[in-house]
Amino acid sequence: MSKKVKYTTEYPVRCSPVILYEFLSTSSGLQEWFADKVSDSDGVFNFTWSGSTEKAEVLEKEENKFIRFHWEDSPSDEYFEFRIDKSEVTNQTILVIHDFADKKEIADQSLLWETQVKELFHRLGGN
């Protein structure tokens, strides 16, 4: 099995970091755009898509800045992270997503994130 590599995607967002963080860090917010059903207990989130559930533990978070998850079945050094940055030039909020994928799957994974983020923007009010 080949080792997955970290990759990053970035999306400008027209909303406050406080509102965006709610959509990235709470089960109700994530259920709006990321998965069909989301529940959490003691820092472990259950994400359900089409009846299949995956568990992810929150490794680290800082309110209105970032949240990092680790999939239960992934190697310990892999994670996915939502980070909220501000552009120094435009002062615009930027959603930065860090994830891991096989090199040949990065393009497909990025497209999947793009689809998910479009749904997030729709829920945020049409970014």
Show the domains of the chain with their CATH numbers.
5-124 (3.30.530.20)
pLDDT tens by residue, 21-66: 999 999 999 999 999 999 999 999 999 999 999 999 999 999 999 9
Q: Is the pLDDT of residue 2 over 70?
A: no
Band (1; pLDDT cuts 50, 70, 90)? low
Residue 72: pLDDT over 60: yes
Q: What is the pLDDT of residue 3?
A: 83
> Average of pLDDT values for 118-123?
96
Contacts of 118 (CB under 8 A, 6+ apart): none
For residue 43, give Cα distances in angstroms to 14, 37, 89, 107, 127.
28, 16, 35, 30, 29
